[in-house]
A and B are shown apart, each in its own frame.
Chain A
Amino acid sequence: MPELVSVPTPTKIQPITKINNFVVKFANVNGSGSASANNMFAKSVFRMGIPMSPHNIFPSNIQGLPTWYEVRISEDGYLGRRDNVDLMIAMNEQTIEEDINTVVPGGYVLYDSSKALANRLIREDVNYLPIPLKDICLREFPNPTQRQLFKNIVYVGALAAFLNIDFKILTAMVSDQFRGKEKLILPNIHALELGHQYASDNFKCPLRLRLKRSNKNKGKILMDGNTAVGLGCVYGGATIASWYPITPSTSVVDSFGKYCKRLRIDPGTGKKKYSIIQAEDELAAIGIAIGAGWNGARAFTATSGPGVSLMQEFLGLAYFSEVPVVLFNIQRVGPSTGMPTRTQQGDLLSCAYASHGDTKHILLFPATPKECFEYAADSFDIADRLQTPVIVMSDLELGMNEQICDQLVWDDKRAYDRGKVLTSDQLEEIEDYGRYQDVDADGIPYRTYPGTNANKGSYFTRGSSHDANAAYTEDGNVYAEVMDRLARKFKTALTYLPEPEISDMKKEKLGIVFIGSTNIVIQEVLDDLGKKDLSLDTMCIKAFPFHKSVKTFIDNHDLVYVIDQNRDAQLKSLLKLESNINEEKMLSIKNYNGVLITAEAIKQAILDSMPNLLKTSEASA
């Protein structure tokens, strides 16, 4: 029998004092109903006007395995992950030892004291917040399911007392959450009160670790990237989503479906202006989207790395036969099944050159939920304009975690760009229509939808080599002409793709280059290094092919750090291959452990590279 103690002795070191700048981590068992309670906590911090970001670290499992929810709270707006935990909500017996050990000295551990804590779990340098969650719920709730679920709500109530969360914010949130299920509102509020009451009666509340209302979230929303993508598809005019379920992309189609149900029902007839097909596999998913794109409807599929692997052949067909289609790749850790519920930017190369033969694809790299919305909508214009697949590269970090971003805006004057599509009347004016003729010398030919004109404009779409009039050919020169035109089209693509976001050029010697989800940690890196009198320019790349400004930025710096969330420095490789950048100008900073790279890791990597780089300047100083 392990030795048990009921209440840990008070800590021998001073509890930490932090206001609006700390990390709360929830260690739970998945399937225990903790997600919505933890989310309620995070959102209440957001509603207090304090910048914060939640991160889900969850297993590929439905019930019984460890899951964590980290909330970084930062008045300064640093919203990347940070490794040190200030307050641990230790609700999982499987991981409790490890969880307690990650708490900083002087930090806090909240645990369910219905069962005594084993001696080995007692650290002398942390503060324990024992709350008999199970006993409280057993006493207060007759229903066994409620007993289990409300444990989570009770600790949120306790946190409100400990951290000084406005209780009204929590009760308002419960009312919002259960609108339409009014029966659930009262017991939830009761559970919150139980926790709040217990904490207030038994501890000195609030703690030295606490929250204070702020005003930093004005004009901001809290949204995850996948929800934003689904909504962007509605706004971008997509009518067809064909997909195969795969983590972490599933919530893209969930979101599309949710908003379509609300916004895409014909008011007169009640009929649907959208169709969602859950396909038998990813091959069919993209095949359906391509068939729809060929026939003039806006269609997309959403998937992750394994799905992209299955879509390769179809992507080559769409590239070569010039059919618009949009693919959202919410990247996760590969290869193979990899770590399905962890994040990575590991599909850059497999997407840029997806399929066999000479293929190249348009990639977009949204960096915030707002850009997920915007790029999703834009991707349909770009695909139609360029008549080619567009792959929007998000990842689990950006897709499945809520992030604070600017509110969404739509320009009502904006009209969809359907690209070069000929109407029946236009066809009548044209003497010699050919599907793949480069009439405008921009590499983009004119297309027609099936059924347009009785006598003109029909053609045969095929993945076999074809001439400018879409006729089958095995003439190598004709084939090469088509391939050269496709290469020209890829250059034209730059006109329609977003430019990189480059920080005010301070003409620094050093720069940082990154894409996508890495964006969230960059400001913290810059500020931390600024404190050490080290200043860097930054460039967030938004699209592939790369704009000229990408190369110019790198050329204008002595050295750039290229941040890759993958093992093989895929962004750096792509820069070297496609923009003819001298490899010696680029230094890789990589992370591929399945969680978002931290500001600390980037800062350290940059500082570690300094001795060599600054040798000359130090010598002169």
Chain B
Amino acid sequence: MSYINKPKFKHPQLKTNEIGLTRRDYEGTLTTLCAGCGHDSISAAIIQAAADMALEPHRVAKISGIGCSSKIPSYFLSKSHGFNSVHGRMPSVATGANIANKDLDYVGISGDGDSASIGLGQFCHIVRRRINMLYIVANNGTYGLTKGQLSATADLGSKTKSGEESLYDNIDMATLAIELGASFVARSFSGDKQQLIPLIQAGLKHKGFAFIDIVSPCVTFNNTDFSTHGYKNTWENYIALSEVDFVPMREEITTSYSAGKAKEITLHDGSVIHLQKTSNNYDPYDKENALHHINKYKKQGQIATGLLYINQSTSDLHELQDTVDKPFNTLGNHDLCPGNEVLTDINETFR
């Protein structure tokens, strides 16, 4: 399908959201990924998430690295600026962009090769710097674009299509993010839209560094019965720690939630995350508890998903550095240049 242009036709009766846009206004170009690729489901989830919460597309900036994952930003929000940067270096570009203009929503899209190998250093440091953004790793355990080498997130013993077996322990991006101080950490599955969409919405609205590790099978190179990142294994071993629901700030809460089992998390902008049917003893505010749960399920060969950890009391980089309220990219001569009189005084200190 990828050789044709995407038709611009819009059905006149398409539902519009509260800023008058239809779902189509949140789409991107036609995908060039393989048919059935998990990454396309991620694009679709982002489109749905953004349309449902009535994001202004042009107030979003999409930034990615290199690889199949990093093509994703082309396939959603074509009215947003995008930046497909250098392999493993999306975090630094996103950091700079965020410092330049704190008023946009930033979505970083990366992959397991991009963030767990070549860019592991940058990943760690963007977490430490608490950049206010949503950082998604489309995690398929393999290098798709170079035809199926194992990646650093492939589980020990997992096998690719060519039969290559992972001999090394994997890097778990979610636990790593929690350890390094990310204030919103989730894991999901490209196949579970119902869970993924509210997580994306909550991640976008969370103030601080929000991270979602999304298992996103590579249908071409890593979807065997022996791969822990394939559809079969993921469906079979997928544990949702809770059902997630997201209610944007403006909307009235209509669903009723049974007391006791539900957890309600109000985000900075007034949006609310509802966690339903939370498994026993699971507390997403408790870092150690979250790590314990993830590792416990991992030992059983299971993948713990949902909102794993949240901390709303941390500051983002702009707060830490105490920058002015106006975005840097709107500051001009008057704001920035001290002028000749000051320079004359400075000259005096060099005599």
Contacts and interface: CB of A to CB of B under 8 A. Distances in A.
A441 to B, nearest CB: 26
Interface size class for chain B? 35 or more
Contact of A460 (B74, B95, B101): B74
Given A271-B324, A450-B80, A296 B329 contact: yes
Interface stretch (B34-42, B290-298, B306-314, B335-343): B335-343
Contacts of B91: 284, 287
Nearest to A46: B351
A240 B96 contact: yes
A464 B84 contact: yes
A221 interface: yes
Given A297-B101, A451-B58, A451-B103, A291 B336 contact: no
Given A295-B96, A461-B82, A314 B89 contact: yes
A47 B324 contact: no
Contact of A299 (B73, B85, B100, B337): B100
Contacts of B82: 458-462
Contacts of B84: 460-464
A117 interface: no
Given A297-B329, A408-B343, A409-B340, A288 B58 contact: no
A186 to B, nearest CB: 23
B59 interface: yes
Interface residues of A, number: 73
B340 A263 contact: no
A75 to B, nearest CB: 19
Interface in A43-91: 46-47
Nearest to A410: B340
A122 to B, nearest CB: 41
A239 B336 contact: yes
Given A263-B338, A458-B58, A222 B92 contact: no
B122 interface: yes
B323 A271 contact: yes
A602 B325 CA distance: 55
A461 B62 CA distance: 10
A449 B329 contact: yes
Contacts, number: 225
B333 A294 contact: no
A27 B78 CA distance: 65
A317 interface: yes
Contacts of A136: none
Contacts of A416: 332-333, 336-337
Contacts of B239: none
Contact of B58 (A46, A454, A460): A454
A409 B340 CA distance: 6
Contact of B59 (A297, A411, A451): A451
A453 interface: yes
B161 interface: no
B97 A294 contact: yes
Contacts of B57: 454, 458
B350 A289 contact: no
A266 to B, nearest CB: 5
A155 interface: no
Given A295-B97, A452-B58, 14 more contacts: A263-B338, A263-B342, A271-B322, A271-B323, A275-B317, A283-B122, A287-B95, A290-B92, A292-B328, A407-B347, A411-B340, A415-B333, A450-B104, A458-B58
User: Which 6 A-B residue pairs are closest in the complex by CB-CB distance?
Assistant: A291-B96, A287-B92, A296-B329, A297-B100, A450-B81, A292-B96
